Amino acid sequence: MSLTITSSRLTDLHCSRCGSIYNPLIRQTLSDCCQAPLLCQYVLEPGSVRKEDLLTRAKSLWRYEALLPVIQPENQISLGEGYTPILSLKRLADHNDLRHLSVKDEGLNPTGSFKARGLCMAISKAKENGEQACIIPTAGNAGVAMAAYCARAGLEAVVVMPRHTPDAFKEECIGYNAQLIEVDGLINDCAAKVQALNQNGTYFDVSTLKEPYRLEGKKTMGFEIAEQLNWQLPDVIMYPTGGGTGLIGIWKAFHEMKALGWLSKQQPLPRMVAVQAENCAPIVDTYLGKQANSKYYVGKPTLANGLAVPRPIGEPLMLNVLRESNGTAIAVSENEMLEGLSELARYEGIFAAPEGGAIWVATKKLLRQGWIQPHEHVLLLNTGSGQKYLDNIKGKWHRK
């Protein structure tokens, strides 16, 4: 038995609001005490996991298995996710008088987006905890990723998606043998449908931050950024923000690396920027003080489907990251997103999702405003490939 246990250093889950402790070996959703997201906790004394030991590890996010929640290696359901490249964007940088611009290209993940990181972890834990069937409300990419990992794990999958989502997302879910349910509205309407379908708890509900493990998959971007940049973090990270798991997860990873001694306690952490679409910018509005919170925010669809999350449950955690990191929040228009997308393609050969277009054009805006200085290292997180968004992009390229 002991031979099959990984080096996972997971101890328990704790409530993100009050710290109450929960058991990771049974199904968990939001905390009973505060109805808040649960966070995984590990034993992290300095030297307990050494960064030198990473050199021999798998070239996927499982290289960090000690800091991931899956206990038994046979439950690691993998399609080769993570360990995506960080590419220097020299031509774009030169054209915009930036010294150091790079992109972590998450479009190269299985199923074409960084959602693979989170869903591989949630589905692996679902298997480990003996779940039979999973359900998810999604703007597109998360549903596709869940369907793929459920297929690989042999679990039943139900995906609830807005009707206006491009066909490529729907077809791929069907291909993986998921049950696809279409809903009129945005992801919050899909979430209501999921709740109605799951009243008797048949399904493990994999909604963003309503279970603790997608966050753990997404945090591996933080480990990779540090490791791939030789432990020299960028000054600014541009993140296209919907539910916020990546933003919260990367920040969690930075703190875990400090606790482990992978990063020095004094090392300044990057300023984190939440980029949203003007059509659905609840975090920007709250951050700028236009509303107390997003409880009643009404959003519209956007070409960047992943950003259409009008009332994210992780809002307080996201706002903490923005404040603690001296970051900011900024919205871009649909047309600006297309401009960003077109420039990434034309100057660098990267076919980004509209979410990726949004962060590049937001970088240009922050540079013009003086919030980003020309000498700073800016890292773009291109969260997905443009390939599934053809219905949104067709005929809208900005050409020179």
Which residues are at the interface with ligand PLP (CB under 6 A)?
113, 115, 141-142, 208, 240-246, 306, 353, 355, 383-384
Residue 320, classed as helix, strand or coil, is helix
Q: Which does 110 bind (CB under 5 to 8 A by kind): Zn ion, ligand PLP, none?
A: none
- Amino acid letter for position 344: L
Q: Which is nearer to ligand PLP, 234 or 386 (CB)?
A: 386
Backbone angles phi, psi at 21, to 5 degrees: -95, 140
Residue 75, classed as helix, strand or coil, is helix
Distance, CA of 159 to CA of 142 (rounded, Å)? 9
Q: Which is nearer to ligand PLP, 9 or 306 (CB)?
A: 306
Q: Which is nearer to ligand PLP, 238 or 366 (CB)?
A: 238
Q: Which is nearer to Zn ion, 5 or 18 (CB)?
A: 18
Q: Which does 17 bind (CB under 5 to 8 A by kind): ligand PLP, Zn ion, none?
A: Zn ion
User: Minimum Å distance from CB 35 to Zn ion?
Assistant: 8
Instruction: Determine the straight-line distance between the first and last CA of the chain, rounded to whole angstroms.
Output: 63
Q: Which is nearer to ligand PLP, 24 or 242 (CB)?
A: 242
Contact 228, 260 (CB under 8 A): no
User: Minimum Å distance from CB 16 to Zn ion?
Assistant: 8
User: Minimum Å distance from CB 383 to ligand PLP?
Assistant: 3
User: Minimum Å distance from CB 97 to ligand PLP?
Assistant: 27
Q: Which does 240 bind (CB under 5 to 8 A by kind): Zn ion, ligand PLP, none?
A: ligand PLP
Q: Which does 113 bind (CB under 5 to 8 A by kind): Zn ion, ligand PLP, none?
A: ligand PLP
User: Minimum Å distance from CB 172 to ligand PLP?
Assistant: 13
Q: Which does 84 bind (CB under 5 to 8 A by kind): ligand PLP, Zn ion, none?
A: none
Q: Which does 355 bind (CB under 5 to 8 A by kind): ligand PLP, Zn ion, none?
A: ligand PLP
Query: Which residues would be at the binding site for Zn ion (CB under 5 A)?
Result: 15, 17-18, 20, 31, 33-34
User: Minimum Å distance from CB 392 to Zn ion?
Assistant: 39
- Taking every pair of Cα atoms in the chain, the longest distance, rounded to a whole number of angstroms, is 63
Cite the DSSP H helix spans in the chain: 90-95, 115-128, 141-153, 167-175, 187-197, 214-228, 245-260, 282-287, 315-324, 334-348, 354-368, 390-393
Burial of 370 (0-12, 13-18, 19+ CB in 10 A): exposed
Q: Which is nearer to ligand PLP, 71 or 327 (CB)?
A: 327
Q: Which is nearer to ligand PLP, 49 or 281 (CB)?
A: 281
Which one, of 158, 357, 394, lies nearest residue 277 by Cα? Answer: 357
31, 106, 217, 249 from 16: Cα distances, Å: 8, 27, 17, 13
DSSP assignment, residue 269?
P
Q: Which does 115 bind (CB under 5 to 8 A by kind): ligand PLP, Zn ion, none?
A: ligand PLP
Distance, CA of 9 to CA of 380 (rounded, Å)? 30
